[in-house]
Amino acid sequence: MISRRRFLAASAAAVLYRPAWASTGTVLTAAPSRQQVAPEGYAETALWTFNGSMPGQSLRYRQGERLRIGVQNDLPQPTSVHWHGLRLPNAMDGVPGLTQEAIAPGDRFDYDFALPDAGTYWYHSHAQSVEQVERGLYGPLIVEEAEGAPDLDHDITLVLDDIRIDQDAQITADFDNRHDRSHAGRIGNLWIANGTMDPEFPVRQGQRLRLRLISAANARVFSLGLQGFEGIVVALDGMPLATPQAVTDRLTLAPAQRIDLLVDVIDETEALLLTFERDGGYVMAAFPVSGAAQARRGAPNPLPPNPEFPIDLAAARPATLLMEGGAMGGMGGAMFRGERRGMRELAMENVFWAFNGAVHQMGDYGHGDPLVEVAQGESVRIGLANDTAFPHAMHLHGMHFAEVLADASLGPLRDTILIQPNEVREIAFAAHNPGKWLFHCHMLSHHAAGMGTWINVV
Ligand code: C2O
Ligand code: CU
């Protein structure tokens, strides 16, 4: 395991994330490349990236603009791009086998859609994603508020990841690893932010930063803390909170989730973003403080709301999703490609999980029944029961949902919800967006091993 940031602080140069690029009409090329990810003295890591870096090119638009991007596939495998968290037309959603054909090596697919929502989103490969996202095929997608953006000194995007590398700093090719598939997923041994172990952002005391945290991790759930900052959470999964929440404790960031924070620098020397899973506190990003202090600003306003699609809980169509299987879990048998199979047989196919007794694998969605079929404009509520020994990060494409809380009120809008073992939760959403929408675990090995279904909005 490669050691902590402190160990290399002396050698590493400050890395600032590259600035925005032209926001209209462009090409993202998915291709092999190399990058110094491990500390100096180790080899460069061979990656697959969008436009030559991990994370891929930072895409930045203004709310109301259109995204027009041709994705050129120069990889040795088919690929596709999913624009995670965006409420876009179904044909642009990037799911091979459900919304488009995968883009063959040498081919190109043009994505073109409007951006009605402001917020912090990301894009990533949605083909062989256990492998392709791990190898680096992801990047941030920021949509700036058309108006009412907060007053800031710095707007910083941090894409967090953990990757699994070997002694030569190369990504291990054990993407079908049965242990990962049947346990917690592919957990890495190198923790990075914006593709580096050592990102630094110089700041001054009193400054206000917007930190846009995005998890591109395959399976790890980050537990994060702030030091030297005072912060509030202003948005989750891109969607503004009506009432911003002061950060008083750790922040949980599951795979694919985003948290937008407004933080004020309160320390004189250094502010930090930390994780609390290793060594009691590992620095994911450092903010060295220098120069004259600035006067602190007053409490910020909430971000302006995005277009709303009200949820009608009383009339919502009910459904349930029972999650079963995995190591130390049970799964009596499941429907797989139209046949009922026992658990041992499924394990031989490298399938370990089921939703309501059925297994879909990537590319099989066209053949299976949806979890729910609903008319556009209706609401849906789904009870989620995790009868497995592992947490799962359930992601709905194309629409945001709210959690139905114990008092029947609705929580904040999200696109990915973390469900712990033995938990029973409920979500609800307005089915405002027609099409075939994937609903799957974003622990990518779990998805590949059966944890996927879909919702048909007709
Ligand atoms: Cu972020 Cu189905 O994906
Ligand atoms: Cu899972």
Furthest C-alpha separation in the chain: 69
Point out the ligand 1 atom lying closest to the alpha carbon of residue 122.
1
Binning pLDDT at 50, 70 and 90, where does residue 25 land? low
- Mean predicted confidence (pLDDT) in 374-391: 98
Distance of alpha carbon 81 from alpha carbon 96, whole angstroms: 9
Q: What value does the mean pLDDT of the chain take?
A: 92
Q: Is the pLDDT of residue 18 over 80?
A: no
Ligand 2 centroid – CA 417 distance (Å): 11
Distance of alpha carbon 437 from alpha carbon 425, whole angstroms: 20
Per residue in 61-76, pLDDT (tens digit) is 999 999 999 999 999 9
Confirm or reject: Cβ of 258 under 6 Å from ligand 1.
no
Q: What SS3 state is found at 314?
A: coil
Distance of alpha carbon 372 from alpha carbon 319, whole angstroms: 7
Q: Which ligand is closest in space to the CA of residue 99?
A: 1
- Mean predicted confidence (pLDDT) in 35-64: 96
Confirm or reject: Cβ of 84 under 6 Å from ligand 1.
yes
Q: What residue's CA is closest to ligand 1, atom 3?
A: 84
pTM: 0.94
Confirm or reject: Cβ of 447 under 6 Å from ligand 1.
no
Point out the ligand 1 atom lying closest to the alpha carbon of residue 438.
2
Whole-number pLDDT of residue 278: 67
Binning pLDDT at 50, 70 and 90, where does residue 19 land? very low
- Mean predicted confidence (pLDDT) in 77-100: 97
Distance of alpha carbon 145 from alpha carbon 306, whole angstroms: 9
**Structure-token pair, residue 154:** 């710095």
Point out the ligand 1 atom lying closest to the alpha carbon of residue 124.
1
Confirm or reject: Cβ of 451 under 6 Å from ligand 1.
no
Q: What residue's CA is closest to ligand 1, atom 1?
A: 84
- Mean predicted confidence (pLDDT) in 111-138: 98
Ligand 1 centroid – CA 117 distance (Å): 18
Whole-number pLDDT of residue 367: 63
Q: Which ligand is closest in space to the CA of residue 392?
A: 2
Closest C-alpha to 258, from 241, 276, 281: 241
DSSP string, 304-354: PPPP-----TTTPEEEEEEEEESTT-----EEETTEEE-HHHHHHTT--EE
Is the distance from CB of 357 to CB of 333 less than 8 angstroms? Answer: yes
Per residue in 165-221, pLDDT (tens digit) is 999 999 999 999 999 999 999 999 999 999 999 999 999 999 999 999 999 999 999
Is the distance from CB of 285 to CB of 214 less than 8 angstroms? Answer: no
Q: Is the pLDDT of residue 87 over 80?
A: yes
Whole-number pLDDT of residue 360: 83
**Structure-token pair, residue 59:** 């895409």
Confirm or reject: Cβ of 440 under 6 Å from ligand 1.
yes
Ligand 2 centroid – CA 389 distance (Å): 10
Distance of alpha carbon 106 from alpha carbon 447, whole angstroms: 27
- Mean predicted confidence (pLDDT) in 88-109: 97
Confirm or reject: Cβ of 183 under 6 Å from ligand 1.
no
Please report which helix (H) or strand (E) contains residue 226, including its range.
Answer: strand 222-227
Confirm or reject: Cβ of 256 under 6 Å from ligand 1.
yes
Selected residue with higher pLDDT from 252 and 329: 252
**Distances, alpha carbon 228 to alpha carbons 38, 310, 325, 438, 446, in Å:** 27, 39, 43, 40, 37
| Beta bridge mates, 49 | 31
Closest C-alpha to 122, from 192, 36, 208, 217: 217
**In angstroms, how far is CA 416 from the centroid of its own chain?**
8
Respond yes or no on whether ipTM tops 0.90: yes
Confirm or reject: Cβ of 395 under 6 Å from ligand 1.
yes
Alpha-helical (H) ranges within 148-305 are 178-182
Whole-number pLDDT of residue 330: 78
Is the distance from CB of 362 to CB of 347 less than 8 angstroms? Answer: no
Q: What share of the chain is helix, strand, coil (3-state, %, to 5)?
A: 5, 45, 50
Residue percentage of the chain with pLDDT more than 90: 85
Q: What SS3 state is found at 76?
A: coil
Point out the ligand 1 atom lying closest to the alpha carbon of residue 256.
1
Domains defined along the chain, listed by start: 5-144 (2.60.40.420), 154-288 (2.60.40.420), 317-457 (2.60.40.420)
Is the distance from CB of 392 to CB of 446 less than 8 angstroms? Answer: yes
**Structure-token pair, residue 93:** 């959603």
Per residue in 314-371, pLDDT (tens digit) is 999 999 999 999 998 877 778 888 888 888 888 888 999 999 998 887 767 766 789 9
**Structure-token pair, residue 24:** 């209209």
Ligand 2 centroid – CA 184 distance (Å): 7
Binning pLDDT at 50, 70 and 90, where does residue 10 land? very low
Ligand 2 centroid – CA 197 distance (Å): 26
